[in-house]
Amino acid sequence: MKRIITLFVFILLIQNARAQSKSGANSKSVTVSGKQIAITLTPLKNCWVYIGSYYGKGKALVDSAYLNDKSTGLFKGNKLVGGVYFIVSPKMTIQFEFLIDSKQQFSIVGDTLQKEKVLITGSQDNDLFKNYLIFSSERGKVMQEQEAAYHQSKTNADSTKYKNLIMQGDKDLQAYREDLVKKHPNSLLAMLFNTMKRPTAPAVLIVKGKPDSLYPYRFVKDHFWDDVVFNDDRLLRTPFFEAKLDDYFKYYVSPEPDSLIDEVKYILLSARTGKEIFPYLLTKFTNKYISPEFMGQDKVFLYLFENFYAKGDTVLLNAASKKTITERAYSLMANQLGLPSAPLDLTDTLGKNISLYGIKAPFTVVAFWDPNCGHCKEEIPRLDSMYRAKWKALGVAVYAVNIYENELVAWKKFISEKNLQNWYHVYQTKAARAAEEKAGQPSYKQLYDVFKTPTLYLLDKDKRIIAKQLSIQQFDDLIATKLKPKS
């Protein structure tokens, strides 16, 4: 089930952008302490142009200016958060990029027909940026020629020659960036270079005569975020920070929930004082782990709920998002991997009470299903086929719960027609449900997160949760793995 969390802070961001636009268009006086960016953009006349910015993986318009019949206009008003910005034409096409940092009084002269010749004066960061673009463009053209020559090489000597030239070109670019960071450590461009850079994996380390094959991996992981300050809101106004963050979690962080929690905790606590980046990252991680890619990673979402939202960060949410997050958290608390499963004392087809914890078996599959559900009509017989073929002989028990007490006739008919024998077929009576509600107890649907059918769990002999929401084949593979003798 996909859920989208809408941050109140994001709504404020849009409102502020609109206010900024009105300020730039209607203000009669220049706010010297704020933003004052003059623009001339030929051949455009008598039209609106815009400043846009990166925002995570997206883009947003943040201000506007009206160009007169001389192609000139003025962006003015409150200062913008520093980062990589761009000018956008009336047809919503990006013209060129530029930098905005603390000093926001400068001028831009450009031509939509010669975008590469934009001239920015009064901004040291943009001077540095322009020089870097010139250097990287020239170096890039040479490297492209060398790349083409490398692929056309007819001898090993030529291949080696051009490969070394390409590698040297990369080193020259890196050296340029490192030199700029040393000379201008407080510049926006230095911050951008620090955010962009990724460690180069070193050679395998020899320890006591034996190669440490994991050393290159550990080195890159340990230095991946060198010189990056997570509470810097400017990170959001770059086109590469979030992509780097995604790569870090994909390639350098174990998918095991506790490892993910350690990383998420470090990043969020480091970003805590960031006005925009903290809620952005909290929302990003919430959306990622509220419906995770891998089993068990919903534990990360519970960590976020218990350590952030439940401690006051719900003020960042609108009412609907707050309700979604809270309800989802309470639906996951009782069914985390490794926890004892919630007790189930339900009624079978003959009216007899059957307790889940009364079943003695090395493994128990708990299946919540609906006899009228189309997917259940396919999956439940498949479950029975696996049970007959392998699981029955292994002593695996199946505790199958019909989730609708109004469907008793259809339920019993399906059991009979599909010959689902030797299972524990149970349901909750209306009286039992009413008593549960009167006592204020959570329902089994909440305790087992049953909001779709079929929902499957695998329990061990002590009824602890081994797995959930996997395919039948994955359950079988896990049972086989658990039964393998330990070497």
Please say if the pLDDT value at position 22 is more than 90: no
Whether 205 maps to a domain, the answer reads no
Q: Which residue has the higher pLDDT, 407 or 302?
A: 302
Tens-place pLDDT, residues 107-122: 999 999 999 899 999 9
pLDDT at 226 over 50: yes
| 374 pLDDT tier (thresholds 50, 70, 90) | very high
Question: 37 with 76: CB under 8 angstroms?
Answer: yes
Q: Are residue 117 and residue 136 in the same domain, yes or no?
A: no
Length of the chain, in residues: 487
Same domain? For 53 and 96 the reply is: yes
> Going along 213-350, which residue ranges are E strands?
345-348
Structure tokens at 485: 């003798």
* Residue 380 shares a structural domain with residue 478: yes
Average pLDDT over residues 216-238: 96
Query: Is residue 11 over pLDDT 60?
Result: no
Pairing type for strands 119-121 and 58-67 reads: unpaired
Taking residues 375-381, what's their average pLDDT? 96
Q: The pTM is what?
A: 0.86
**Whether residue 69 is found in the same domain as residue 112:** yes
Residue 204 lies in a domain: no
Place of tokens 């990043």: 267
Three-state helix/strand/coil letters over 195-262: HHCCCCCCCCEEECCEEECCHHHHHHHHHCCCCCCCCCHHHHHCCCHHHHHHHHHHHCCCCCHHHHHH
Residues 247 and 225 in one domain: yes
Do 293 and 392 lie in a common domain?
Answer: no
User: In the structure, what pLDDT confidence band is assigned to residue 319 with cuts at 50, 70 and 90?
Assistant: confident
The verdict on 190 and 227 lying in the same domain is: no
In this structure, the answer to whether residues 323 and 352 fall within a common structural domain is: no
Of 78, 102, 121, the one marking the end of a domain is 121
**In the 8-state DSSP scheme, what is residue 201?**
P
Between residues 158 and 75, the one the model is more confident about? 75
Is 2 part of any domain? no
Q: Does the residue 338 lie in any domain?
A: no
What local confidence, expressed as pLDDT, does residue 215 receive?
95
Q: Is residue 206 in some structural domain?
A: no
Q: Flag whether pLDDT at 347 surpasses 90.
A: yes
- Average pLDDT of 42-55? 97
Asked which of 10-24, 169-183, 237-251 is least confident by mean pLDDT, the reply is 10-24
Q: What was the pLDDT predicted at 280?
A: 95
Residue 201 lies in a domain: no
Residue 148 has pLDDT above 80, yes or no: yes
- Considering its fold, how many domains does the chain have in total? 4
CATH of the domain at 54: 2.60.40.1120
Crossing angle between the packed helical segments 156-183 and 188-196, to the nearest 10 degrees: 140
Each residue's pLDDT tens digit, 269-286: 999 999 999 999 999 999
| Residue where a domain terminates, one of 196, 227, 250 | 196
Please give the share of the chain, as a percent, with pLDDT higher than 90: 85
> How deeply is 394 buried, as exposed, middle or buried, from its count of CB atoms within 10 A (0-12, 13-18, 19+)?
middle
In a domain, 234, yes or no: yes
* CATH number for 467: 3.40.30.10
Range of the domain at 189: 127-196
How many Cα atoms within 13 Å fall on the side-chain side of residue 251?
14
pLDDT recorded at residue 47: 97
Crossing angle between the packed helical segments 156-183 and 124-151, to the nearest 10 degrees = 170
pLDDT over 70 at 29, yes or no: no
**Of 89, 121, 153, which marks where a domain is finished?**
121
* pLDDT over 80 (residue 38): yes
| Least trusted range by pLDDT, from 33-37, 250-254, 423-427, 433-437 | 33-37
Calculate ∠ Cα 94-100-104, nearest 5°: 120
Q: 301 with 414, same domain?
A: no
Element (H, E) at 103: none
- Which residue's entry shows tokens 């997917």? 375
pLDDT in tens, 158-213: 899 989 999 999 999 999 999 999 999 999 999 999 999 999 999 998 888 899 99
> Is the domain of 474 the same as that of 349?
yes
Could you tell me if residue 202 is inside a domain?
Answer: no
Q: What is the structure's pLDDT at 395?
A: 97
Report pLDDT digits (tens) over 444-487: 999 999 999 999 999 999 999 999 999 999 999 999 999 998 76
- pLDDT given for residue 32 in this prediction: 52
Q: What is the mean pLDDT of residues 94-115?
A: 95
Co-location of 28 and 152 in the same domain: no
* Whether residue 62 has pLDDT greater than 60: yes
Query: 328 and 447: one domain?
Result: no
Determine the pLDDT at residue 292.
94
The pLDDT score that the predictor gives to residue 487 is 65
